[in-house]
């Protein structure tokens, strides 16, 4: 079946996930709603008559949403709210306890704001959306090795900054 012929089921399955991703990236309900709608419009415009596998649909949707969000961030010259990025309404974020307990702190906010939009996106997609590195690579149009390396660099950067701020001392920080 083509994308346009099963649009309703695709929308039902992915609209909430895409909205949540856009909201975490932009920290704006209005912008997230707009980007979620734009994502589905672009999917139909670009792939409307193409038959796609389920994992391909997911990758295309996240890639479109990612590009919309990153363009927005670049245009606005600002980063999203750290609290909104890491808040997961349906359960706690799977990060070591001392980091979870401290992510509202000034130190954690500095750490996360020091990441690039792509690094933030990788963290959100992996930690919050629980996507594997391979799928994130398809979404961001990067190699899986590059995504893994960016993820590791992001973890290292956060750990060094938290150590510098005195939040942790040589402890292992596991962002899953």
Q: Are residues 36 and 99 in the same domain?
A: no
Q: Are residues 64 and 144 in the same domain?
A: no
Q: Are residues 113 and 167 in the same domain?
A: yes
Local confidence band at 145 (pLDDT 50, 70, 90 cut-offs): very high
Of 26, 45, 78, the domain-final residue:
78
pLDDT higher than 50, residue 150: yes
As a whole number of angstroms, the distance between CA 68 and CA 142 comes to 17
| Domain containing residue 131 | 80-176
Q: What pLDDT does residue 166 have? A: 67
Q: By percentage, how much of the chain surpasses pLDDT 70? A: 69
Q: What pLDDT does residue 4 have? A: 64
Q: pTM to 2 decimals? A: 0.54
Q: What is the CATH number of the domain that holds 91?
A: 1.10.10.10
Local confidence band at 25 (pLDDT 50, 70, 90 cut-offs): confident
pLDDT higher than 80, residue 63: yes
Of 63, 78, 93, the domain-final residue:
78
Q: Are residues 136 and 172 in the same domain?
A: yes
Q: What is the CATH number of the domain that holds 25?
A: 1.10.1740
Q: By percentage, how much of the chain surpasses pLDDT 90? A: 27
């Amino acid at each position: 079946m083509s994308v346009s012929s099963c649009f309703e089921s695709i929308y039902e399955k992915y609209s909430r996930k895409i909205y949540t991703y856009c909201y975490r990236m932009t920290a704006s309900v209005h912008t997230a709603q707009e980007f979620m709608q734009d994502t589905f419009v672009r999917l139909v415009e670009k792939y409307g008559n193409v038959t796609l596998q389920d994992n391909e649909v997911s990758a295309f949707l996240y890639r479109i949403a990612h590009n919309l969000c990153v363009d927005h961030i670049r245009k606005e010259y600002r980063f999203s709210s750290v609290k909104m990025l890491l808040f997961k309404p349906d359960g706690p974020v799977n990060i070591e306890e001392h980091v979870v307990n401290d992510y509202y702190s000034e130190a954690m906010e500095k750490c996360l704001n020091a990441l690039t939009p792509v690094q933030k996106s990788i963290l959100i997609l992996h930690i919050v959306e629980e996507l594997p590195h391979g799928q994130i690579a398809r979404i961001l149009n990067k190699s899986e090795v590059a995504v893994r390396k960016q993820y590791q660099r992001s973890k290292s950067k956060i750990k060094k900054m938290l150590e510098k701020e005195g939040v942790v001392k040589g402890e292992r920080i596991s962002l899953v």
